[in-house]
């Protein structure tokens, strides 16, 4: 399990692999029907509740998929390299660099939070 003191190492490791990760993971979710189905269920549940935050969004693949399903969504990731790719690949969406351990949304400001591939780091 990661601790706050591990964050610089975690950030550096994701920055190091960001380009290769994007080459492997960028694109659509076509090869992953289970993921598409799960995200469709999430979208159905949160679509009308307000903005959704994708925590640990990486290059924004899941964020963009949710947006395509009609969800008002933005992404945050610890890695500046991943966020740079997300902004380049999905310029119509908002992505910020930040840590899941330091998020401080206003009460009732989010309809949902998704941490698809990042929860295991917390």
For 77-96, write each residue's pLDDT tens digit: 999 999 999 999 999 999 99
pLDDT tens digits for 29-45? Answer: 777 789 899 999 999 99
pTM: 0.86
Which range, of 23-37, 65-79, 83-97, 108-122, averages the lowest pLDDT?
23-37
Residue 52 to residue 75: CA distance in whole angstroms? 8
Q: What percent of the chain has pLDDT over 90?
A: 57
Terminal C-alpha separation, the chain: 6
Domains of the chain and any CATH numbers: 4-121 (3.40.50.150)
């Amino acid at each position: 399990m990661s601790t706050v003191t591990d964050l610089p190492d975690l950030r550096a490791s994701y920055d190091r692999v960001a380009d290769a990760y994007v080459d492997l993971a960028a694109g659509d979710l076509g090869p992953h029907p289970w993921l598409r189905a799960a995200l469709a269920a999430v979208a159905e549940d949160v679509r009308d509740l307000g903005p959704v935050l994708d925590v640990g969004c990486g290059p924004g693949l899941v964020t963009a998929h949710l947006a395509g399903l009609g969800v008002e969504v933005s992404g945050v990731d610890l890695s500046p390299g991943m966020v740079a790719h997300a902004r380049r690949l999905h310029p119509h969406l908002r992505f910020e660099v930040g840590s899941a351990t330091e998020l401080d949304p206003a009460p009732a400001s989010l309809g949902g939070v998704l941490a698809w591939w990042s929860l295991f780091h917390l």
